[in-house]
């Protein structure tokens, strides 16, 4: 009995959103103290070349929703210290936003692959796009930290339908929870009905034309059906966007993990499973197919998640043959390290936030050399002690 209680507690802990998105109440900048490094345009829809190399703040009222999927640890601490979520407007994000605004939503989805060196700001770019999707009332299918599903899952279950498929019920449920939190207002507006009836076991019965939110809520309540419900959700989202009920923005961080051969989980044959054996992988590969319209797919590839492939950061190498064939044709977008202007903007930002003080010109030069203009390294060098 005690064990069972502990298990319940563990689930409750894991689903507590405070664990994943803990940040302080952010403060609005008043007009008179707004320095030149900031831009007043806080809506990414209107961002263009004139806002390049400037920072903008995600409004504090949207912050909790937009960042519901959680942040990188380093970011979390910075968010607490700075009391604001600032994003630098960079060239690739402007490029992507222009593509998104002018793409034809009646035709099949366009695919974009963001690549770049480790720590060059690919995931941060996704936050910018996430804010864009939120402001333009799109349903956002956002996946970050997918690598932890294959290394440290909370629970493993072999699928009841197919024995060689592995489900991760708790992780899936957590993802569903975050998905609902991010898209709740749009899901309520769009009022999407199911295109076909679903039935799993005795209790789970969803006839045709029942609400999609009910399906998601059922997945959150009944953890054991979560994997099947994500599959149904992907299917329904594609169906709904085909009809034109909603507009879907798919953002997947570290997408190349789905084509990696490295996991720490053993399958039913007691051998290390491939990532393709997971139901979550199959679902997110399904949504990145180009057989639907009224949506956009943006994924990032990174060397950090794939242990097999470390030599290059270029997309064809990281995606492997299968991944390239799955995504092709896609638009590769390179995220480079900071330019000279961006570097000084960030230095000014850190100075403004008093994270670094009394920095001489020699000190700036040293920071340049040490970081090599790499955003993550610069953040790491300037961080709190």
Partner 1 sequence: MSMFMYSKTYFFKPKIVNFIPLRSIKAKVPNTFVNEVDKDGFRILELFPTKIKKTVKYQKSIPIFTGREQKMPVDQDWPTVWPSQKTFQPHSVPLPVRQGYPKPGEGPFSKIANTELMKIPNFLHLTPPAIKRHCEALKQFCTEWPKELDSDAKCTEHFPLEVLYSDYCYSGPSIRDPLSRIITFKVKLSSLKLDYHAKDKILRLAGNRYDYTSDIITIITDRCPMRKQNYDYATYLLIALYHESWRKEDWENEKALADMEYYDWEKNQSKKNLVTIYAWPEIPQDFNYAHIPHAEEYKVAVSELINNGEDEHSINKYKQVVKKLMFFKPEKNHSTESE
Of residues 291 through 330, those in contact with partner 1 by CB under 8 A are 291, 293, 312, 314-317, 325, 328-330
Kindly state the smallest distance separating residue 195's Cβ from partner 1, in Å.
15
Whether 159 contacts 167, CB under 8 Å: yes
Sign of CA pseudo-dihedral 162, 165, 169, 173: negative
Whether 206 contacts 159, CB under 8 Å: no
Compare residues 179 and 255 and give the one whose CB is closer to partner 1. Answer: 255
Distance between CA atoms of residues 356 and 266, nearest Å: 47
Burial of 290 (0-12, 13-18, 19+ CB in 10 A): middle
Task: Report residue 28 as tokens.
Answer: 């609005």
Compare residues 224 and 242 and give the one whose CB is closer to partner 1. Answer: 242
Contacts of 50 (CB under 8 A, 6+ apart): none
Compare residues 85 and 301 and give the one whose CB is closer to partner 1. Answer: 301
Give the residue, chosen from 42, 64, 91, 99, that forms a contact with partner 1 under the rule CB under 8 A: 99
Compare residues 25 and 291 and give the one whose CB is closer to partner 1. Answer: 291
Distance between CA atoms of residues 190 and 329, nearest Å: 30
Give the residue, chosen from 39, 57, 110, 345, that forms a contact with partner 1 under the rule CB under 8 A: 110
Compare residues 223 and 294 and give the one whose CB is closer to partner 1. Answer: 294
Number of residues that bind partner 1 (CB under 8 A): 24
Of residues 227 through 266, those in contact with partner 1 by CB under 8 A are 242
Give the residue, chosen from 6, 10, 13, 107, that forms a contact with partner 1 under the rule CB under 8 A: 107
Distance between CA atoms of residues 206 and 200, nearest Å: 9
Kindly state the smallest distance separating residue 271's Cβ from partner 1, in Å.
24
Task: Report residue 210 as tokens.
Answer: 């029942």
Whether 355 contacts 382, CB under 8 Å: yes
Give the residue, chosen from 108, 201, 207, 372, that forms a contact with partner 1 under the rule CB under 8 A: 108
Q: Does 102 bind partner 1 (CB under 8 A)?
A: yes
Compare residues 75 and 99 and give the one whose CB is closer to partner 1. Answer: 99
Whether 251 contacts 126, CB under 8 Å: yes
Work out the angle at residue 373's Cα, subtended by the Cα atoms of residues 372 and 377, and round it to the nearest 5 degrees. Answer: 75
Q: Where on the chain is the footprint of partner 1 (CB under 8 A)?
A: 99, 102-104, 107-108, 110, 242, 290-291, 293, 312, 314-317, 325, 328-334
């Amino acid at each position: 009995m005690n064990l069972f209680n502990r298990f319940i507690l563990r689930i409750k802990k894991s689903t507590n959103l405070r664990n994943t998105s803990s940040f302080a109440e952010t403060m609005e900048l008043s007009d008179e103290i707004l320095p030149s490094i900031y831009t007043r345009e806080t809506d990414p829809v209107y961002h263009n070349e004139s806002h390049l190399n400037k920072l903008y703040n995600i409004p504090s009222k949207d912050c909790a929703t937009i960042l519901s999927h959680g942040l990188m640890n380093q970011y979390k601490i910075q968010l607490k210290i700075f009391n604001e979520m600032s994003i630098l407007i960079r060239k690739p994000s402007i490029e992507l936003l222009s593509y998104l605004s002018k793409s034809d939503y009646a035709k099949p989805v366009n695919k974009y692959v963001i690549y770049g060196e480790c720590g060059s700001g690919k995931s941060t770019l996704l936050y910018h796009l996430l804010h864009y999707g939120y402001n333009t009332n799109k349903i956002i299918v956002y996946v970050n930290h997918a690598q932890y599903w294959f290394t440290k899952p909370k629970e493993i279950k072999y699928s009841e339908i197919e024995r060689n498929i592995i489900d991760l019920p708790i992780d899936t449920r957590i993802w569903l929870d975050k998905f609902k939190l991010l898209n709740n207002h749009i899901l309520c507006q769009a009022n999407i009905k199911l295109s076909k009836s679903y039935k799993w076991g005795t209790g789970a019965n969803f006839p045709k034309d029942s609400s999609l939110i009910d399906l998601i809520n059922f997945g959150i309540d009944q953890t054991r059906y979560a994997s099947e419900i994500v599959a149904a959700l992907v299917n329904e989202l594609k169906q709904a966007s085909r009809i034109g009920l909603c507009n879907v923005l798919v953002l997947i961080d570290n997408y190349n993990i789905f084509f990696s051969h490295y996991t720490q989980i053993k399958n039913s044959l007691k051998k290390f499973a491939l990532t393709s054996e997971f139901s979550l992988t199959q679902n997110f590969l399904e949504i990145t197919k180009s057989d639907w319209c009224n949506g956009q797919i943006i994924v990032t590839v990174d060397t950090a998640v794939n242990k097999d492939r470390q030599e290059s950061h270029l997309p064809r190498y990281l995606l492997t043959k299968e991944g390239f064939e799955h995504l092709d044709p896609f638009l590769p977008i390179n995220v480079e390290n900071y330019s000279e202007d961006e570097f000084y903007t960030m230095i000014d930002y850190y100075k403004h936030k008093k994270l670094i003080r009394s920095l001489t010109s020699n000190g700036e030069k040293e920071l340049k050399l040490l970081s090599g203009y790499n955003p993550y390294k610069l953040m790491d060098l300037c961080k709190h002690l």
